[in-house]
Structure 1
């Protein structure tokens, strides 16, 4: 099996006195879904941008480890190619004049064209709950906030990368949108991709993720199997702004 690994990765914003991320290590296996939680300003969004390759670590390294094969070092360019990503403001990622063009942009850059590209676009749109015939010619700028979020997801999953990083993907989605999102990540898992899902909504993670990571002051302080997690305790700790380390100690 293949894993994406981070080894003591750190990041400090230019001019900052303290590191935004400190000694972050993890091992992400393909075919699993991770829920990443933490209070505001804990470093989750910086973490997602660093893993994606949008910023470079000042310490540590990323690498791929495959069974019985040499380690593959991952610079930012390589991470950009294997990790699909949406940030917490997906409207920033939308620029095309039609939904069809927006959805297929990344896949087209991968070399897909013609019927194969059309099929990939239609599959991606359906995966987020959009019927292609109703959406492909629409102007993305005229979509609602929730629809834009779903469109950003469609454009990313159309690339069919082995790893995904979604930052607050269900924020602004109605019940139907959330159900389609949950179905989508399950399909990604079945297809052998890994998903890291960053969210403040503890309740929606239960039953949907395999593991939970917790971030606090720029460090990963929690890594637990979802089946062994006391979800009520985790919710109380988050609400009271206590240390997530208490969850691991429970």
Structure 2
């Protein structure tokens, strides 16, 4: 065989291989990890700050280190009373608490239901639907007035699959933190059937330059047969669109910090 002909065949073979691999390479690029958040935000501080990462807090805040010295208790007090309001970051060290396990699960689920090729709107919809599919509203305990603590928090959604509005809100809020989508929590009142007014909470996200409301709780109706249903009546709605039965009172920029236990 002519060596030049052999070289030409090899070149054609390489081109054919690249042509066949291109869709795979493009697919891998399109489905990169959607995770933007720091996994350290999932770790627990403990009940009284005993698991605060003091070394990291000192490193991130040299002014606090200069003022207090290497004093973990003082760092915890500073974070609670000043750091949160000032927007300072703090990290825990305990990965085994129920709260930490629930938050770490959010990272795993986010990678399963979202990818970096999706728009923020598509990611928000995937989270909205997943939470509703995996969670039942704790109607029985609500009627008996025996709602357990877990139902009010992210652990109820991520570990038990049962929650009330506050649990839905915490879970959705942390998903947005993990996915890097600007988010807020709205606390206020809702007007139910018959005009009954009660305390309620829901989420807001920044999509295409607009703050839009998402209420996973009200999009997860309680059915008589217990069957899961997903609706999107309260998905990415303007405040005007939900004003008839959602009364805003306060907005929190960082709901997780608000839930820090002292």
* TM-score, normalised via structure 2 length: 0.28
Instruction: Name the structure where strand makes up a greater proportion of residues.
Output: 1
* TM-score, normalised via structure 1 length: 0.29
Higher relative contact order (CA 8 A, sep 6+): 1
Instruction: Name the structure where helix makes up a greater proportion of residues.
Output: 2
